Amino acid sequence: MKIDEKDLLLLKAAQDGLPLRAEPYAALGAQIAMPADEVIARLKRLVDCGVIRRVGASLAHRAAGFTANAMVAWKVPEEKIEEIGNAFAQRNEVTHCYSRATAPNFPYNLYTMLHAKSKEACNEIISFLSAATGLTNFLILYSTRELKKTSFRI
């Protein structure tokens, strides 16, 4: 797929997010002199061709009161990684779920990111996930502060 100048203009305008308006695609298009229906069609084409993964909303979790964040590293039998990863990914409390190769002295191969209103609430979610899957070998890494949070920029 070839990206043209209009696609680049659209991607640059959209990289800061959609405007919080009743008609966000029209507002975005107004910034670059493009009608809303063309904005939508181009974004759909860019998603369909794999240039961008998705157009979605992102919750500013700290501003919404979700102040406890935990990355949980799980040791999952290789033959169950797909099944358990999919089960974790279906949970609303899990915002990210990745499988990774293990490293020497670090046997964990599945990672989940959780956000909750308290550390205790995170622990309850982790206990539920552990009980639901039978996984007992995991490591919890709590965030202590946010250093950087930005998306890729053109």
Q: Residue 150: pLDDT above 80? A: no
For the chain, report the end-to-end CA distance as a whole number of angstroms: 18
| pLDDT at 59 (0 to 100) | 67
> What is each CA distance from 150 to 22, 58, 90, in whole angstroms?
25, 12, 25
Domain 68-142: which CATH number of 3.40.50.10860, 3.90.1510.10, 3.40.50.300, 3.30.70.3460: 3.30.70.3460
Q: Rounded to two decimals, what is the model's pTM?
A: 0.67
- Strand arrangement, sheet containing 68-74: 94-99, 110-116, 68-74, 138-142
Q: What is the pLDDT of residue 46?
A: 95
CA atoms within 13 A on the CB side of 123: 3
Quick one: pLDDT at residue 146? 78
Give the Cα separation of 123 and 82 in Å (integer).
23
Examine the pLDDT at 71 and tell me if it is beyond 90. yes
Tell me the domain boundaries of the chain: 5-48, 68-142
